[in-house]
Amino acid sequence: MIITVLPQNKELRGLVEVPSDKSVSQRALIFSLLVNNSFSVQNLSTSKDCLSTLEVVKQLGVNVKGHGNTFLLKNEVVGSSKPLFCGNSATAMRLLCGVLSGKNFSSVLTGDESLSSRPMKRVVEPLTLMGAKIEGNVPMYIYPSVLHGIEYHSKISSGQVKSAVLLAGVSAEGTTIYTEPHKSRNHTELMLKYFGADISVHGNTVRLNKSDLVAKDINVAGDFSSAAFLIAAALIVPNSDITIKNVGLNPTRIGFLNVLKDAGASIEVLNEKTFNLEPVGDIRVRYSEFKGFNLSGDIIPNIIDELPLIAVLGCFAKGKTTVVDAKELRVKESDRISGIVSKLKSIGAKISELEDGFVVEKSSLNGGVTLDCGFDHRIALSLFVAGLGCKNAIKIKDFECSDISFPNFVETITKVMS
């Protein structure tokens, strides 16, 4: 599908909601494989990634009742003799690898072409140290094994790798200790605590003892990574003033929000509350001038999904924007450094590529071209935002890939277009 994005000449205004958090939704589904009691999930994400995960847990034997975005899950897992298709979701594959390593049946995890090119050694290595028997990359063959806790110091900060080890640690004998260089998203730790796990966190180290989990009902807030695109749009379209309702505000996810505030953007959080240990609130964003960004080190893991959007915002910021220490972007659904730099250059951005990031200066975006997003949902959505600030319309090929994380994006943003 090719979509045309017109320059937005009128302000964005009103109240809007974003899809439910993809990370929390996928974890809720995967946790159904680790508990014996039934529990409900309200506002489950309907993104393609979550639908893939839902089909996998059903295939493994989880009894799923419900419709729309509310489900009751009950563990009746017996395994599956057929491959478990994770679609485009690295989160599903990596977390399932941790859970299934401790089961008494064999499993095969597979995925689409994009997922098949993603690195899995980073997950297999610590799980193997725990006693897991795993072969292959994608497809990945997992055999029954008895797991034991380990002390593991990761060289990278990855919420997915950390989660795989911790989920394996739930059934592993002894204690599992995981340390990462910078704190990555912690939805798994919070859900483990919410379900009664014997878990503690000190700085960048998580300690987990073998635990019997007791599930509780889950209410999923709006996905901050999806809200980020609306936040960015409101910041670059003059006179805009929007409020995004019930967004997840986990501190390990809102680096983007904090970076924007520090740069002078007009953003405030309202009506703060908590859903199953996860902070939630409304985000009000008003058009405003903001400075360029200088991002590196600890902040990168907490803003990794929004970095293509930072490149776009750098075109509208006062001064220069520099992002480094973000080499992880090169092994996402696509090489997101090369992808966003080349696409923004083609519409007039003053941007250059670094080995581990990019440099961008305030630019006048011309547009007037057709862009290939490389079937990467975050690149597609970032280019849509850029298109709102171009002088001429742009076209984006394969925009349907945005459904991977933000179903009905166009309908959502249209609600606040004057």
- As annotated, the active-site residues are 305
Helix (H, G, I), strand (E, B) or coil at 79: coil
Q: How far apart are CA 246 and CA 159, in angstroms?
A: 23
Q: How far apart are CA 66 and CA 216, in angstroms?
A: 17
CA end-to-end distance (rounded Å), the chain: 25
Q: Which two tokens stand for residue 26?
A: 């996928």
| CA atoms in the 13 A half-sphere facing the CB of 45 | 32
Q: Residue holding tokens 């749009």?
A: 233
Q: Which two tokens stand for residue 345?
A: 């250059």
Angle, alpha carbons 260-263-264 (nearest 5°): 95
Q: How far apart are CA 233 and CA 204, in angstroms?
A: 33
User: Long-range pairs for 113-122 at CB < 8 Å and ≥24 separation?
Assistant: 114/88, 114/333, 114/334, 114/375, 115/86, 115/87, 115/88, 115/89, 115/90, 118/90, 118/93, 118/331, 118/333, 119/331, 120/93, 120/94, 122/156, 122/158, 122/161
CA 196 to the chain's CA centroid: 25
- Exposed/middle/buried for residue 67 (C-beta within 10 Å: 0-12, 13-18, 19+): exposed
Q: How far apart are CA 246 and CA 248, in angstroms?
A: 7
Q: Which residues contact 68 (CB under 8 A, 6 or more apart)?
A: none
